[in-house]
Structure 1
Amino acid sequence: MSHTQTIPTRSSINPADTWDLTPLYRDLDAFEAEFSDAESQVNDLSSYRGKISLSPETLLSYLKAKDKQFLIIDRLYSYAFQTSDEDTANTQTQAMKNKTLSLYNRFFASIAWESPEILTLTPEILSDWYTKEPELTNYRHYLEDTLRQKAHTLSPREEEILSLSADMSYGPQTVFNMFNNADLRFPSIDDGNGNTVEVTHGRFISLMENPNRQVRKDAFEALYHTYDSYKNTLAAMYSSNVKKELFYTKARSYTSTMEAHLDCSNIPTKVYAQLIDTVHAFLPSMYRYVALRKKLLGVDELHMYDVYTPIIRYDSPYIPFDTAKEMVLEGLAPLGEDYLSLLKEGFDNRWIDIYENKGKRSGAYSTCVYGHHPYVLLNYQGNLDNVFTLAHEMGHSLHSCYTNRHQTYINSNYNIFVAEIASTCNEYILISHLLKKAETREEKAYLLNHLMDQFKGTLFRQTMFAEFEKITHEKEAKGEPLTCDTLCSIYSDLNKTYFGPDMIIDEEISMEWARIPHFYTPFYVYQYATGLSAAIAFGSRILSGEPSALDDYKKFLSGGCSMDCMDLLKSCGVDMTTSGPTSEALKVFDRYLTELESLF
């Protein structure tokens, strides 16, 4: 007798397994009341226009008033987005999200004059003002970073026009997210046991890990054939987003969209280029891994639907969420009691939205509003990968906790370049712990395979994504149209380069670009790869017992955006201006690969 596995509705989920958003707002009425107040005050800061460059007292007054107003909008924004992510098909919460995003953009449009006015100051004037108004030093990095970007800041009226375009600029991303999360439906397949299971975003990786090759193939084809049915629409969405990015690049006089995005964090473009070059230099190690996977799976041809399934037939049972929490707590013990205490606080107080439900946003993330504890969205399926996702997202959350404890609001929002380091360091420390505990050859091999997959997915795969973005944005800048055929050809060729001669590059994989939401936030994904490199640098020092390692790591976690991220990392012992950390991380991959090969 077959049966159908259905996804539960939001209302049928146990509240204890959902996040508790009441610390942000007790209910929708409270949200609406604060939204109404914030909306009525959105233009209040205009009273400072033309005045903040006149005296240190006025500049400080403005910056403090701006912080107070933006913190409220930040809380409204987070609550609205989290609520809408619970069920993306709920039109009421989608409307709430859209109006909050509009308020967010209106706020920044209302202060578009700020940067041009700050840019009338000089480093010498600001130095004098820090002496006259010491509290202004709290904003030193923010002000000096504003001056750094002077060449790309426009006139007050031009900045206002760009800010007014922000709502419109989210169009491609908004359309993609609604299509991908709310409207797109995939077929059901046989799970190999006579049961019908619907393919979903949340289930896809679990299905791709299935030991039954036919299940993997069916899930792979069900997903990508569905995307292929909308390939021209999806190409138009992606192309529109790239065109939008090029518009802002040209408006701000950057030489490339890559430069425009990296300059926001003061990252040299050579960091991006050397990441791709360094990974290319280690592709022979990736090819060895692919060859080993082919050998251990015992297949004549290795296909793209074979890249997620464990190559060791180790009986890893379903992992209940309570067990996952225990595994994470035990594995992260090297990070100290203060760190574990924060983990327990999050586990015990509904920081986490655990299980998949109909309409829920796919994937996982952590988010935090200053003055409140962080939140984590999961779609927990009970496999080992999900345990690592829990550790990963709690790494983000605790990074926010440490930063918020040690920094003021203006310096609390840690830079996007360092955003993946704490999360990935958690994963590395956890897998190292589990490898030491492995009791059998099969268990050790299984964990080594998981570690190899982490490198494959984070360092090699994200660099491949980064190279795809580099190529497509450069093509658009040259006036070359990004048609579906072009995008598929680029993506297929990159897969051939990164996976090597032992991998069959199935035609379906050429559509994978169409399902990657991060492509709508350009030049972001490379930071997963650089983040892994820095994470392994920190993690290796901590696990080796280096005396200053844990102190350096906590210093990093607490640094926020009080200084440039490259300088912060360097001051904590990790120099990302060189290829060293990436090269050393890839050597770790090679070492563990050799260990895995030796078991067979």
Structure 2
Amino acid sequence: MKKSLLIIFTVSILLFSIGIVSEVGYSAEKVYAEKEAAKPSYKNRSEIPEQYKWKLEHIYPNQQEWEKDIKKAIELANKFAKYEGKLIKSQKMLKKAIDDYSNLMRVHDKAYVYAHMMLDANSSNAKLQDLADRADKMSVSVRENTSWLSPEIAELSKKKINTYLRDESLTDYNYFISNIIRKKSHTLSKNMEELLAQSSPLASTPKNIFEMLTKDIQFPVITDKDGKELELTRSNFFSYLENDNREVRKKAFQLYYETLKKYQDTFAQTLGGEVKGNNFYAKARKYESAMEGSLISNNVPTKVYDQLIETVNQHLPLMHRYMALKKKMLGVEELHMYDIYTPIVQVEQNYISFEEAKKRVIEGLKPLGEEYTSVLKKGFEEGWIDVYPTKDKRGGAYQWSSYDTHPYVLLNYEGTRDDVSTIAHELGHAMQSYYTNNNQPYISSGYPIFTAEVASTMNEQLLWHNEYNSAKTKQEKIYLLNQRLENFRTTLFRQTQFAEFEKMIHEKDQKGESLNAEALKKVYKSLNEKYYGPVMISDEEIAMEWARIPHFYSSFYVYQYATSFAASTALAKQVLEEGETAVSRIRNNFLSAGSSDDPISILKEAGVDMSTAAPIEETMTVFKETLDELEKLLSEE
């Protein structure tokens, strides 16, 4: 399966659980009743009007057609396995192998995506659960029957490869082939590659246990200031941290992490198992570390990771200054971790209808040109988006597609400002898929998370600029400035903190040190103190935060949110300042590029060089300017 296919799916589903899109919100207690009265509410999927549901019939008109592709994928996979050792003895045979692989994977992806999106919209449906299970089994069969291809290409001599690559018929496959050769020293024998492919379900065990454990944990009921009992859950935790009543958010914070602490040893064993697995696979493939294995396999130099941490650490005084401002605006004697999510300014938070949200997104993304917005309008009107939540619909938001379908976006729209931003974010993914699939052959149509999150966060940044320029009151400007600073905190600073934690615990395991609960808590709390600075009371409970972060079960993943945020900040600025010149460069060299080259080179062609610390430095300058502007507006009051 194309790597980007799963990456975009997984990343987007989990965005809200770690608070990437935005962790700033509103007082749930104050506006909840008004919002509930205004927004549509649907008990089940059949009640939702058709214009608000995605049209999966664009993929298959009925299940019978899907059945044909499931059967076809398995047949093609079995046939492909029979070519092992025979297909790449000449340039012509190599091309045939890649063409056959592409044709197989196009059928695979289409069938796999359809089954899982059907289930995501109706997760309690037993028949759809069976469809997804069958798609999973088909996928395992395909992986097992294609695992020989890369090792066999890697066995070709340098002379033969260079001869092949000079042939014009392989031009579209140059990067795909070169990338395999580049990883030759880390490619194992065919038997070992098959063994590792078969072990992939075992490698996902820690993640599966984490998901089941967090799903099964029951949190206590809390009591608000009026004595009303409120249920605390994983999904509503942040709404309580946003509450304008300090006792409510303090109580929610303490009870949440005290509950996690009861399971700290299980969480530690689970995360420790993930780390040990990552280090094992890295060692098996002869990488010096799991970080190197993760980054280099995606053709990203390890210095990008290290210089991100180093540069962000150098600018932590800016973060500390922001925390000091938060403390002042909240009017508290001590700033605690449970205080940082509550908004420092209140603005009217009326329900935003989905029709109004569409207008705001299209207006905000106008700087990307008429062609771009015309495709957005098509997506809104032609069944790309599944809008409203129901009880049996998967939570969160994501974009997913296959090469032979238009992009699809899953939302759980509730009518908040954050939800509008989420639409822009997921459509950034959708537009990158749209442009890539229309400009690249299958083999280079995927794209890694390193570039994927750039497109989505660039859209968010452009939307923010439009909202800020359209703000009618000083209060709204203060709110939007704080919202932007929160995006910096939660994406650039917070994800770098996560990245540094992940690096440290993998290094501890490599050295043979224990990753028990106390060791993990000590590392995490010390990092939290460093990132938030002396003004913050780093509450003991925060030492358990690592136990609720799902992205620690995706090896060396989160750093890309921070690098993407920096890259998108630079590109959004270029769009606003250069206009069509920048839009054309970004569309042709980035959005349409897929994996036709390494991600660093693709972004460099688009206008931002992530091989240097310059984009991080420039983003810190924007953070400082935003902080300056907020302080200036506040001083005028």
TM-score after normalising by structure 2: 0.88
1:67 equivalenced with 2:93 (yes/no): no
Aligned to 2:326: 293
Q: Deviations over 1:264-313 (max 9, x none)?
A: 11111111000001001110000111111111111122222222221112
Aligned to 1:423: 456
CA distance in 2, matches of 1:348, 1:220: 42
1:229 equivalenced with 2:269 (yes/no): no
Q: CA deviation at 1:422?
A: 0.6
Aligned to 1:216: 249
Q: CA deviation at 1:103?
A: 2.7
Which of 553, 575, 588 lines up with 1:542 in the alignment?
A: 575
Taking the TM superposition and a 5 Å limit, the aligned residue runs for 1:180-329 are 180-181=214-215, 183-189=216-222, 198-329=231-362
> For residues 295 and 351 of structure 1, do their structure 2 counterparts lie closer, same or farther at Cα, with a shift above 3 Å needed?
same
CA distance in 1, matches of 2:130, 2:234: 23
Which of 410, 415, 424 lines up with 1:377 in the alignment?
A: 410
Aligned to 1:433: 466
> For residues 300 and 228 of structure 1, do their structure 2 counterparts lie closer, same or farther at Cα, with a shift above 3 Å needed?
same
> For residues 542 and 11 of structure 1, do their structure 2 counterparts lie closer, same or farther at Cα, with a shift above 3 Å needed?
closer
Aligned to 1:106: 141
Which of 137, 150, 164 lines up with 2:171 in the alignment?
A: 137
Runs of 5+ unmatched residues, structure 2: 1-31
Aligned to 2:537: 504
For the residue of structure 2 that corresponds to 1:501, the secondary structure is coil
For the residue of structure 2 that corresponds to 1:311, the secondary structure is coil
CA distance in 2, matches of 1:13, 1:593: 45
For the residue of structure 2 that corresponds to 1:366, the secondary structure is strand
Taking the TM superposition and a 5 Å limit, the aligned residue runs for 1:511-530 are 511-530=544-563
> For residues 94 and 469 of structure 1, do their structure 2 counterparts lie closer, same or farther at Cα, with a shift above 3 Å needed?
farther
Q: CA deviation at 1:121?
A: 2.2
- Determine if contact 1:367/1:376 at 8 Å carries over to the other structure: yes
- Determine if contact 1:52/1:117 at 8 Å carries over to the other structure: no
Runs of 5+ unmatched residues, structure 1: none
Aligned to 2:17: none
1:45 equivalenced with 2:84 (yes/no): no
Aligned to 1:157: 191
Aligned to 1:348: 381
Q: Deviations over 1:124-177 (max 9, x none)?
A: 423433555x33222111001100001101111111111111122222222323
Residue 106 of structure 2 aligns with an amino acid whose one-letter code is: L
For the residue of structure 1 that corresponds to 2:55, the secondary structure is coil
Q: CA deviation at 1:559?
A: 0.8
Aligned to 2:499: 466
Q: Deviations over 1:516-552 (max 9, x none)?
A: 2211111111001000111011111111135621111
For the residue of structure 2 that corresponds to 1:350, the secondary structure is coil
Aligned to 2:397: 364
- Determine if contact 2:369/2:580 at 8 Å carries over to the other structure: no
CA distance in 2, matches of 1:339, 1:190: 49
- Which deviates more, 90-99 or 586-595? 90-99
- Which deviates more, 356-365 or 399-408? 356-365
> For residues 101 and 225 of structure 1, do their structure 2 counterparts lie closer, same or farther at Cα, with a shift above 3 Å needed?
farther
- Determine if contact 1:84/1:94 at 8 Å carries over to the other structure: yes
TM-score after normalising by structure 1: 0.93
The number of equivalent residue pairs is 596
For the residue of structure 2 that corresponds to 1:43, the secondary structure is helix
- Determine if contact 1:537/1:585 at 8 Å carries over to the other structure: yes
Which of 449, 469, 487 lines up with 1:454 in the alignment?
A: 487
- Which deviates more, 38-47 or 52-61? 38-47
Residue 430 of structure 2 aligns with an amino acid whose one-letter code is: S
Q: CA deviation at 1:513?
A: 1.6
- Determine if contact 2:367/2:579 at 8 Å carries over to the other structure: no
Report runs of 4+ in structure 1 exceeding 6 Å deviation.
191-195
- Determine if contact 1:102/1:167 at 8 Å carries over to the other structure: no
1:84 equivalenced with 2:119 (yes/no): yes
Which of 1 and 2 has higher RCO (CA within 8 Å, sep 6+)?
Answer: 2
Aligned identity (percent) is 44
For the residue of structure 2 that corresponds to 1:391, the secondary structure is helix
Q: CA deviation at 1:192?
A: 6.2
Aligned to 2:18: none
CA RMSD of aligned residues (A): 2.5
- Which deviates more, 557-566 or 312-321? 312-321
- Determine if contact 1:10/1:87 at 8 Å carries over to the other structure: no
CA distance in 1, matches of 2:461, 2:505: 32
Q: CA deviation at 1:196?
A: 5.8
Residue 106 of structure 1 aligns with an amino acid whose one-letter code is: S
Aligned to 2:27: none
Q: CA deviation at 1:558?
A: 0.8
Q: CA deviation at 1:363?
A: 2.6
Residue 316 of structure 2 aligns with an amino acid whose one-letter code is: L
Q: CA deviation at 1:29?
A: 4.7
Aligned to 2:629: 595
Which of 598, 603, 610 lines up with 1:576 in the alignment?
A: 610
1:553 equivalenced with 2:622 (yes/no): no
Aligned to 2:26: none
Residue 488 of structure 1 aligns with an amino acid whose one-letter code is: K
For the residue of structure 2 that corresponds to 1:300, the secondary structure is coil
- Determine if contact 2:74/2:141 at 8 Å carries over to the other structure: no
> For residues 131 and 580 of structure 1, do their structure 2 counterparts lie closer, same or farther at Cα, with a shift above 3 Å needed?
closer
CA distance in 2, matches of 1:175, 1:84: 21
